[in-house]
Chain A
Amino acid sequence: MKIKNILTYCFISSLFLFSLISIWKILVTLQGIELTNFNFNKLFTFGIVLCVINLLIGKKFNLNIKIILLALLFSIFDYFISINLPIWYSFGIFLISLFFFNSIKDYDKKFLSKNHSSQKLFFNFLTLFGITLFSFVILFPFYMMLVTSFKTQALLLLNPLDFSINFAQGLPELFKSYFIVFKDYNFGRYMLTSTIVSLGTVIITLIFAIPAAYAVARLNFFGKNFLSTSILIIYLFPAIVLVIPLYTIFSQLGLRNSIEGLLIVYTATTLPVAIYMLQGYFKSIPKELEEAGIIDGQNWLGIIFKIILPLSLPAISSVALYVFMIAWNEFLFSLMFLDRPNTFTLSRAIQFLNVGAETPRQYLMAGSVVVTLPILIIFVYFEKYLVSGLTAGSVKG
C-alpha cells in the first residue's frame, strides 16, 4: 500500500514536472530559439530522484530553503543537458521548478500513508496541469494572430516558429500591416459599417423588445402562453434555413447590398432572445411598484419609462451587449447579402481578403485583430453583464 503510493507519487509528480517543462520549451521554441529535444528520459529520471529526495527531507528543515535548493538543482541539471540556450530560458526553468517543488513541499511519508493520497495527488496535478494547458491552448491562437500581424511576409516564411516581437524596429514598422489594412484595404470604412450595423441592431432590437417583453411579462391577453413558447421555438431556428428565402426576397426587393437590409435581418433574428431575456427580468420586479405608478396616474408608457426601465438597467445592458456581440460577429447573412465592397462589414471584408487574390497573411491577421480586439475589450470590461447575457441567451451560437 505504502510502496504503491510512493511509486505513484514519484511517477505522477515527475511526469507533471516534465509536462510543465515541455510547455515552457514549446513556448521557447516559438520565440524562434532552436530547441529540438524534450530530453524525456533524462529529465524524467532526474525528476523522480528529486521527488524522492523531497520525500526523504520531508519537513526536517525550513521548507523555503528546501524548495529553492531542489529547484536550483533541477535547473542546473537542465542547463548542463541542454546546450547554447539563453539565460532567460534557464531562469524560466528555475521559476517553473520553484512552483513545482512549492506544490509538493507538503508531501511527506505521513501524507502518503493516508487513504486515497495518490488519487488526491493525481487530481491536484491534473488541475494544475489542466489550467496551464487550457490557458496555452486557448490563448495561443490569439497570441499568434497578434504576432503574425506584426511580422513581414519574408520573416514569416524564414522561420515559421519565430513568434517573438521585434520592438527594436520601431513602432511605425511594427504596425505597418495595420496602416496598410486601414489605408489600402479600406478597413476604416468596414469598421464604421460594422459599428453602425451593430449599434443600430442594439437600438432597434431594444425599441421593439422592451414593450413586447413588458406585455408578455405583465399584461394579460389572449394567446400569451402561445406567444411565450413560440418565442423559444422561433429562436431555435437557425440562420441557414432562412438564408435562401431571404436571399430571394431581398434580391427581388433590391434590399441586398444595403445596410438597412442587414439591420432588418439582425434585428429580427435577435428579437426573440431579447424578449425572452427581458421578460424574465421584468417578472422579477415587484408588482407593487407599478401599482403605485398607476395610482399616481401613470399610463403604460409612463410605467415602462419611469419604473421598469430604470430598475432593469442591468438586464437591458446584458441584452444590449449580447445583441451587440451577435451583430458584430455575424457572418452568414453578411456573406449572403453583401457583395459590393462599399457595404462590407468587418467579418465579410476579412473573408473577402482571404478569398481574393493572395493576400499576405500579416494583413489578414491584422484585419482579424481589428475585428477581434473591440469585442474582447468589451467582453473583459463588461464581463459581468455579458456573462449573464451569454447564460440567458445560451441557446444561440
Chain B
Amino acid sequence: MSTKLAKIEKRTAYLLILPSVLLVFSIILFPIFSNIWISFKNVELKDLRIPEPRAKKIVKSIKDNPNQIKVIYKLRNSSLTQEITNVKFRDKYPDNIEPISLNNKCQFNSNLLKCELGNWPKKYRENLEIVFQNTNNNEISKKRIKSYKPKLSGKSQNILLTYEFTLNNFKKVIKDKAFIDLLLTTFYYTFFGTIGAIVFGILAAQMVNQKFFGRTFMRSVLLFPYVAPVVALAYTWELLLDPTSGTLNNLLINYQIIDGPINLLGQKYVNLNILGFDFKLRLALTTVIIFEIWRYFPLAFLFILARLQAVPKELYEAADVDGANPIQKFLNITLPQILAVISILFMIRFIWNFNKFEDIFLLTGGASGTRTLPINVYQQGFSIGDIGMGSAVSIVIVVFLLIFMFIYFKLLGKRADEN
C-alpha cells in the first residue's frame, strides 16, 4: 500500500515539475550548450537567414491575340551565400486553360503546373516564361491567374547544423591585442562596482537603522534606483552628465569648481595629480562604475539593514557599559555580525556585475574604454555580425562564471557548516 502511494506521489511530482523543467531546459540550458557548438563554427549574422527559393509572377496579355496569355516567373535564390538544392515549383491555374509549349522541366496536369528546377547556386536568377491558351472561347481572366500564388520548396544546408568546425574564433579572441585590456576593464568594473555598492549599502543601512522622522519613507526612496527601469535611469544620467548642456557640468562651472566642461562619459583618461604623483584615471569607466554603485547599493542596503535589525540590542548596551566609542562599536559588534551577509552579497554582486550589459551599453555603448566582456559579446555578434566570435566570448564569460560559482558554493557550504 505504502509503495503504491509512493509511486503515485512520484508520478505526480514528475507531472508537476515537467512543464517547468522542459521550458527551462529549452530556453536556458539548451542555449548554453548550443553556445559551445556555435563558438566552434564560422557563422555570421547574414548566414542565419534560411535561403529560400522565391518567385515573382507577372501576367502579360499578348497583343492581337486575346486567346493567349503569357506568364513570366522571375525566379531567384534569396541567399547571397548559400546554394539551394532540389527546388520544386507548383502553381495552380483556372479551368479552361492550358500551356502551348512546356520545357522538359515542367508538367501540366489538371490545372496544376509542376516543375523540377534542380539546384540553384547562390544569387541565382532565372526567368521562366510560359504561354497559355484557352480551351474554350471564354476570355482569359488575368486577375484570376494572378490570384494564385506559386509555391516553391527546396533544400538548403543550414550552416548551424553542418559538421564543420573551426578553432578560429577562440584563436581570434585570445590573440586579440585588446583581450587583456578587455579582461582588466571587466574586472576593474566588477570589483569596484561591487565594493562601492557594499560600502554605500553599509553606510545607508547604518543611517536608516537609527530612529528619525520619515524613516520608512527614506527606506522606500533608497530603493528607487534599484526598482526603476534601467533605460530611463541611464538616459537621465546621460543628460545629467552631458558636457555642454548637462546639469552637473553647468553646476560645477557655476560654482567655479572646474574651468571648463568635462566629458564624463566620453573621455577615456583624465590626468590626476595627487600628492605629487601623476596618474591616469579611467574617467568614463569610473563614471560608469559610479552609476553602477548608485543603482545597486540599494540591494546591499536592504540586506545589511535586515541583518542589522536582527543584532541584539544587549550587545550595544554592554559595549556602552564598557565605555566603547562608536568606531569600536562598529568594528567589534556591527561588522562581525554583518560579515556573513557581506561575503555572500559580494559573491552574488560580483557574479552579476561581471555579466552586466545594459548599464554600460546604454551609457557609453562600450566606447571610451568601457568595453567589458558582455559588451564585447554584443559588439562581436551584432555590431560586427560575427555570431561565432560572439559565442566564443560568451564561452569565456561562462568559464569565468563557473569558477566564481564554484567559489560561491564552496563559501555557501562553509557558512552552512558553521551555522
Q: Which residues of A contact B (CB under 8 A)?
A: 26, 29-30, 35-38, 115-116, 119-120, 122-123, 127, 130-131, 134-135, 137-139, 141-142, 144-145, 148, 156-157, 160-161, 163, 208-209, 211-212, 214-216, 219-222, 224, 227, 233-234, 236-249, 251-252, 264-265, 267-269, 271-272, 275, 300, 325, 328-329, 331-332, 336, 346-347, 350-351, 354, 361, 364-365, 367-369, 371-372, 375-376, 379-380, 383, 386-387, 390-391, 394-397
Could you say which residues of chain B place their CB within 8 Å of the CB of A329?
227-230
| Given A332-B358, A368-B235, A29:B254 Cβ within 8 A | yes
Could you say which residues of chain A place their CB within 8 Å of the CB of B59?
none
Q: How far is the CB of B46 from chain A (nearest CB, A)?
A: 11
C-alpha spacing A372/B227, complex, angstroms = 9
Q: How far is the CB of A117 from chain B (nearest CB, A)?
A: 10
Closest to A353 in B: B235
Could you name 24 residue pairs across A and B whose Cβ atoms are closer than 8 Å? Answer: A37-B256, A120-B325, A127-B207, A134-B204, A141-B240, A157-B245, A160-B250, A209-B20, A211-B20, A212-B21, A215-B14, A215-B17, A240-B378, A242-B28, A243-B394, A244-B38, A245-B38, A247-B381, A248-B38, A251-B48, A368-B232, A391-B302, A395-B348, A395-B351
A244 and B28 within 8 A (CB): no
Q: How far is the CB of A280 from chain B (nearest CB, A)?
A: 15
A123 and B232 within 8 A (CB): no
- Is B124 close to A, CB under 8 A? no
A351 and B362 within 8 A (CB): yes
B362 and A391 within 8 A (CB): no
Could you say which residues of chain B place their CB within 8 Å of the CB of A268?
23-24, 26-28
B160-218 residues at the A interface, CB under 8 angstroms: 160, 203-204, 206-207, 210, 212, 218
Chain B contact patch, size range: 35 or more
The dominant DSSP class at the B interface is helix
- Is B333 close to A, CB under 8 A? no
B32 and A241 within 8 A (CB): yes
- Is B6 close to A, CB under 8 A? yes
| Given A119-B326, A325-B227, A364:B303 Cβ within 8 A | no
B377 and A244 within 8 A (CB): yes
**Which of B236, B299, B327, B351 counts the most chain A CB atoms within 10 A?**
B236
Q: Which of A220, A325, A347 contacts B231 (CB 8 A)?
A: A347
- Is B387 close to A, CB under 8 A? yes
Q: Which of A38, A221, A267 contacts B10 (CB 8 A)?
A: A221
**Contact string against A for B residues 63-76, beta-carbon threshold 8 Å, 1 for contact and 0 otherwise:** 00000000000000
**Which of B221, B240, B358 counts the most chain A CB atoms within 10 A?**
B358
C-alpha spacing A246/B236, complex, angstroms = 30
Say which one of B77-85, B108-116, B143-151, B397-405 lies at the interface with A.
Answer: B397-405
Q: Which of B227, B245, B326, B374 contacts A240 (CB 8 A)?
A: B374
A138 and B240 within 8 A (CB): no
Could you say which residues of chain A place their CB within 8 Å of the CB of B378?
240, 243
Could you say which residues of chain A place their CB within 8 Å of the CB of B28?
234, 237, 242, 268-269, 272
Q: How far is the CB of A336 from chain B (nearest CB, A)?
A: 8
B224 and A221 within 8 A (CB): no
Could you say which residues of chain B place their CB within 8 Å of the CB of A367?
232
Could you say which residues of chain B place their CB within 8 Å of the CB of A233?
405
Could you say which residues of chain B place their CB within 8 Å of the CB of A221?
9-10, 13-14
**Contact string against A for B residues 4-42, beta-carbon threshold 8 Å, 1 for contact and 0 otherwise:** 001001101110110111011011111110110010000
C-alpha spacing A251/B382, complex, angstroms = 13
Closest to A146 in B: B236
A244 and B394 within 8 A (CB): yes
C-alpha spacing A394/B227, complex, angstroms = 12
Closest to B10 in A: A221
Task: Identify 6 new A-B residue pairs, CB closer than 8 A, beyond the known A138-B222, A241-B394.
Answer: A142-B228, A144-B236, A252-B50, A372-B228, A387-B302, A390-B299
B83-99 residues at the A interface, CB under 8 angstroms: none
B207 and A130 within 8 A (CB): yes
A135 and B221 within 8 A (CB): yes
B247 and A331 within 8 A (CB): no
A242 and B13 within 8 A (CB): no
C-alpha spacing A222/B250, complex, angstroms = 65
Could you say which residues of chain A place their CB within 8 Å of the CB of B240?
141, 144
Could you say which residues of chain B place their CB within 8 Å of the CB of A325?
227
A234 and B29 within 8 A (CB): yes
A379 and B223 within 8 A (CB): yes
B237 and A244 within 8 A (CB): no
| Given A233-B405, A375-B229, A364:B326 Cβ within 8 A | no
| Given A220-B9, A376-B224, A160:B245 Cβ within 8 A | yes
B231 and A371 within 8 A (CB): yes
Q: How far is the CB of A312 from chain B (nearest CB, A)?
A: 15
Could you say which residues of chain A place their CB within 8 Å of the CB of B203?
130
C-alpha spacing A372/B229, complex, angstroms = 6
Could you say which residues of chain B place their CB within 8 Å of the CB of A127?
206-207, 210, 212
Could you say which residues of chain B place their CB within 8 Å of the CB of A141?
225, 233, 236-237, 240
C-alpha spacing A363/B272, complex, angstroms = 38
Q: How far is the CB of A72 from chain B (nearest CB, A)?
A: 23
Q: How far is the CB of B107 from chain A (nearest CB, A)?
A: 32
C-alpha spacing A367/B236, complex, angstroms = 11
B207 and A142 within 8 A (CB): no
C-alpha spacing A381/B192, complex, angstroms = 33
| Given A116-B325, A244-B35, A364:B387 Cβ within 8 A | no
- Is B220 close to A, CB under 8 A? yes
C-alpha spacing A131/B227, complex, angstroms = 20
C-alpha spacing A131/B43, complex, angstroms = 53
C-alpha spacing A354/B243, complex, angstroms = 17
| Given A127-B210, A240-B394, A241-B397, A383:B20 Cβ within 8 A | no
B250 and A215 within 8 A (CB): no
A241 and B355 within 8 A (CB): yes
Could you say which residues of chain A place their CB within 8 Å of the CB of B207?
127, 130-131, 134
C-alpha spacing A37/B254, complex, angstroms = 8
Q: How far is the CB of A255 from chain B (nearest CB, A)?
A: 11
